[in-house]
Structure 1
Amino acid sequence: MASSIRVISTSNIHLASQNSDSTRKIELGPWDLQVLLLDLIQVGFVYHDHPHSNRDTVIQHLKASISSTLDYFPQLAGRLAVIEHDDYGTYSVFIHCNNAGALFIHATAEGLTISDILRPDYLPPIVWSFYPLTDAKNYECTQKPLLAVKVTELVDGMFIGVTINHALGDRKSIMHFLTCWSEIARGVGLLSKPPTLQRWFPGGTERPMRIRIPKDNEKEKERLKSPLPPPQERVFHFSKEKIAELKAKANATLSSNYKISSPQALMAHLWRAIVRNQGIDPKEEVNFKLVVDIRPRLNPPLPPHYFGNALDDGTVRMTAGELLHQEGLGKAASEMNKVVASFTEETIGSHLKSWLEDRRLLTISEMFGDAVDMDGSPTFNVYGVDLGWGKPVAVRSGPGDKSNGTITVFAGPEKGDVYAEVNLPYEIMEAMGRDSEFMDAVMPAVGFFIVKKMRSFRSYL
């Protein structure tokens, strides 16, 4: 699969409106500030060629539609700004909506086809180069763009890699932007769900919020000096029917008045397979970390289209023996259910109060540790990102914030299906592939079949 990436052009995309307020500032809230040391969020979409336009026309269409979308998301065309205060080294960070521009890169991957990306069991390393700003951290974007789009031409289609600064929003917010871009690219007059840009702050906190930039985290310094490439990545596809079977199996082990959800059953199934194929001592504690959207859990709740970070995380703890017990699927799923249910307004407030006492910023080294870590959501309609010539053939996420044990989930092209990107050492991933209990719920090589089906459809056209 030898191929090289050649950049054709690089440009800045500005707001379409000429009436933008270049002096507007958006302060970062507590959840925004916590992620400043982490990687940017990346998501990629694989498309077949536009059936009725040449590629130059498509590129111009994408640039124009991004520009129009930025009118609704002016912060994405801005830059971060940092103010150092004269009180023992505290800082405040905000978004300067100065219309400095989003980055747009047009490139080509010589000789590379869609099936070259989707057919292998493991993600080809070259795919990481389809995302812009992969070497940047969120706090570095005082000069670097907050939004970058890279369109890489393939032999029979294109890969569109989107990178957005995590301090601006979580994955739910990023999906909201992509949905709005999709609507504008298809010529929708008014957005169906315009964003709420005003940031939320806990009552009684000073404005702007101040943080301390850590200078003594030696472990993180060493990691940044010699960054390791992301571990092997393999994508597993679970159909709606197989997930329903897992859910029924999990619920059969629980009392009739206690029911768990389909995503919880699926995550328990994945967690069990990972632990089972690591050969962990049954008495050893194993952890599963998940994130919870707290927009609807505050009082009053945040607007559903709040654009910013509004996540908290919780950890499920069990022994390997409990997890792998014959009733472990239901037990693990029910523990996940309990952790999610524990995020009440009171517990969220307690977490915020604790953070406000030390203003500690998250680091990748401390965030993952030895836990299996879930990111993304099967509720995100990633296959709905139609930019004017049909839905994507496949969706992937970039290398940012990935470590051993990271699981990134998103909805599949068919309603109820779920894709899970799993990052683990090669030996464990191979063992999972031979694990009949795990693989019984996995659909075979569906990505390649979709490509063949789409090719047949286009040839018919």
Structure 2
Amino acid sequence: MAISDGSDRENGENSIAPALQTEGAAVEVMDTIMVRPKKPTSRHLMYMSGVDQILAAAWPNRTILFYRGQIDSTAVVKRLEHAIASVLVSYYPMAGRLARDENGRLVVDCNDEGVQLIHARCDLSITDLQGKGFAIQPHFRQLVPMDHLQSSDSSDDPLACFQVTAFKDGITLGVAVAHSVADGAATWSFIKAVSQTSRGQPLSIYPLHARYLLKPSVFMPHTVFLSPDAKEEMKAAKGAPYNGCEEPIRVSNANLEVLQQRVIHFSREMLDILKKECLNTISNAKPGDFVSSFQALGAYLWKRLVMAQNLDEETGVDFRVAMDVRNRMIPPLTPGFFGNAVVGVPTPSTAGELVTESLGNTCVRIRRSINQVDDDYIKRALIDRENKDLRKIALSKVQVVTLRNGTGFHVYEAGDFGWGQPEAVRPPVEYREGEITLYPGKEAKSIDVIVALSEATCKNFFSENIYPNDPIQNFPLHLPE
């Protein structure tokens, strides 16, 4: 490939089919560019933590940003090409590829091979999508790269890809990042760095490439564990059992055909009502008790989903959150720590317990699990995951609601590359029932919920009769206006 202006350009037909046919739409790839760092970086093999290794079994992080207006997609691609090339000097691992060391362990080969940038077009209208509340459509999967990957351990693919798709009256920007190299916070810091550079601004945060800080042999000599039996104590606790990270679960994409992809908008008023209901229904509530929007909404969605699934009372139902632990470690990691600094936090229950208890007590159950995530919990999780054999991890047999909380990522600010903030931010698809993504809504302090449901569960979930005494029954669940 010839190199020009820090990038490689090749015919889109060489790597991606020129026309990706989907229901009601055809996304046509016009060009594919491999963008390399503006100047060479130091080549080496970068250590990947135990959490990185576990999340190599997960799907890539994939997000679509929607922009409406007369926007020249060709100029956008050129602008992004230069911005990405500049940012990759600081975020140089993103320009590398995954490899295996002599022990078969994943590492990042920092080799400057580049990030993929795709230019495509679609003969549809952003205005029409906006009128439907940017509800998830089948063709959304073709608006962001890496749709062919069901894991994040490929040595043949770029670690990050951008796709600009021209619509009749706007564009979309799809961003995909291998989960093995970045969690949500790291992914959005990378996106924000590109947007700031695209606007001619300096980076507000520079990345810290120090994954070795999560290596047990590095932190253990300086760590005093609270109790040598802490692991067993956590297992016996009523709150979240010790479980360093969610087990990898692979689901065939063919299963997506039977899932209903739904977007639900929770306004600030709806969230305030849920928080008030939680505070009013907590057993033995104390003065000064606080409930966050995330806790209240999580409790509500968990309860409503389990009600909709009509499960036996004894069926185990877990609520799981991947928690950013950058500020919970001692000493804390900087906000710029680049990698996967997350720990899976499960809240166990049975269907019978969850359905019969108050919303406030469900909220307290979630809060207790989250509050257990201290330095001791985190470092024991890291030790547990460091040399975990993925083949020996038993998949949980309980029903799991997995919540990915993107409400703190300031996605509209990060999504301003110089042609305005996006109208909406969406994942292209949720892969299994009970998989939920939260993003900030366009309206201040609102939240958009994206959830995948089977046909039967979906019908029950949106039934007005599924949740007796629903605190927000006067606000029928609906798509964003």
The equivalent of 1:77 in structure 2 is 95
347-356 vs 164-173, greater mean Cα deviation: 347-356
The equivalent of 2:204 in structure 1 is 192
What is the alpha-carbon distance in structure 2 between the residues aligned to residue 195 and residue 121 of structure 1?
Answer: 32
1:433–1:439 contact (8 Å) kept in structure 2: no
2:73–2:165 contact (8 Å) kept in structure 1: no
List structure 1 runs of 4+ shifted beyond 6 angstroms: none
1:122–1:232 contact (8 Å) kept in structure 2: no
What is the alpha-carbon distance in structure 2 between the residues aligned to residue 426 and residue 31 of structure 1?
Answer: 34
2:216–2:382 contact (8 Å) kept in structure 1: no
Q: Deviation digits for residues 395-452 of structure 1, max 9, x if unmatched?
A: 101337x211101111112331111101111232232223363664566432xx4xxx
The equivalent of 1:275 in structure 2 is 306
TM-score (norm 2): 0.81
Q: How many residues align?
A: 420
2:311–2:351 contact (8 Å) kept in structure 1: yes
What is the alpha-carbon distance in structure 2 between the residues aligned to residue 368 and residue 182 of structure 1?
Answer: 42
Q: Which amino acid aligns with 2:60?
A: L
What is the alpha-carbon distance in structure 2 between the residues aligned to residue 367 and residue 277 of structure 1?
Answer: 21
The equivalent of 1:322 in structure 2 is 353
The equivalent of 2:256 in structure 1 is 229
Q: Which amino acid aligns with 1:243?
A: L
> Cα offset for 1:176?
0.8
- Cα gap change, 1:357/1:99 in structure 2, threshold over 3 Å: closer, same or farther? closer
Q: Which amino acid aligns with 2:97?
A: R
- Cα gap change, 1:20/1:352 in structure 2, threshold over 3 Å: closer, same or farther? closer
The equivalent of 2:36 in structure 1 is 14
**Structure 2: which 5+ runs fail to align?**
1-22, 220-247
What is the alpha-carbon distance in structure 2 between the residues aligned to residue 233 and residue 117 of structure 1?
Answer: 16
Does structure 1 residue 95 correspond to structure 2 residue 125?
A: no
The equivalent of 2:330 in structure 1 is 299
- Cα gap change, 1:324/1:137 in structure 2, threshold over 3 Å: closer, same or farther? closer
What is the alpha-carbon distance in structure 1 between the residues aligned to residue 120 and residue 93 of structure 2?
Answer: 26
**What is the RMSD computed on CA atoms of the aligned residues?**
2.6
Q: Deviation digits for residues 319-361 of structure 1, max 9, x if unmatched?
A: 3233223x52111110100000111111222223333464437
The equivalent of 1:59 in structure 2 is 77
TM-score (norm 1): 0.84
Q: Which amino acid aligns with 1:12?
A: M
The equivalent of 1:31 in structure 2 is 51
Corresponding residue to 2:406 among 371, 377, 380: 377
1:34–1:361 contact (8 Å) kept in structure 2: no
Does structure 1 residue 288 correspond to structure 2 residue 319?
A: yes
- Cα gap change, 1:30/1:441 in structure 2, threshold over 3 Å: closer, same or farther? farther
> Cα offset for 1:300?
0.6
Does structure 1 residue 128 correspond to structure 2 residue 132?
A: no
> Cα offset for 1:284?
3.4
2:143–2:174 contact (8 Å) kept in structure 1: yes
2:26–2:123 contact (8 Å) kept in structure 1: yes
- Cα gap change, 1:194/1:44 in structure 2, threshold over 3 Å: closer, same or farther? same
What is the alpha-carbon distance in structure 2 between the residues aligned to residue 227 and residue 366 of structure 1?
Answer: 20
Q: Deviation digits for residues 127-150 of structure 1, max 9, x if unmatched?
A: 111111111244543221111111
What is the alpha-carbon distance in structure 2 between the residues aligned to residue 244 and residue 311 of structure 1?
Answer: 28
1:323–1:332 contact (8 Å) kept in structure 2: yes
What is the alpha-carbon distance in structure 1 between the residues aligned to residue 406 and residue 397 of structure 2?
Answer: 18
- Cα gap change, 1:274/1:192 in structure 2, threshold over 3 Å: closer, same or farther? same
What is the alpha-carbon distance in structure 1 between the residues aligned to residue 443 and residue 47 of structure 2?
Answer: 39
- Cα gap change, 1:178/1:440 in structure 2, threshold over 3 Å: closer, same or farther? farther
The equivalent of 1:259 in structure 2 is 290
Does structure 1 residue 142 correspond to structure 2 residue 155?
A: yes
Does structure 1 residue 43 correspond to structure 2 residue 63?
A: yes
What is the alpha-carbon distance in structure 1 between the residues aligned to residue 340 and residue 85 of structure 2?
Answer: 23
The equivalent of 1:164 in structure 2 is 177
The equivalent of 1:215 in structure 2 is none
Corresponding residue to 2:432 among 403, 406, 409: 403
Corresponding residue to 1:174 among 187, 210, 218: 187
2:49–2:386 contact (8 Å) kept in structure 1: no
What is the alpha-carbon distance in structure 1 between the residues aligned to residue 397 and residue 186 of structure 2?
Answer: 22
Q: Percent identity?
A: 25
- Cα gap change, 1:64/1:333 in structure 2, threshold over 3 Å: closer, same or farther? same
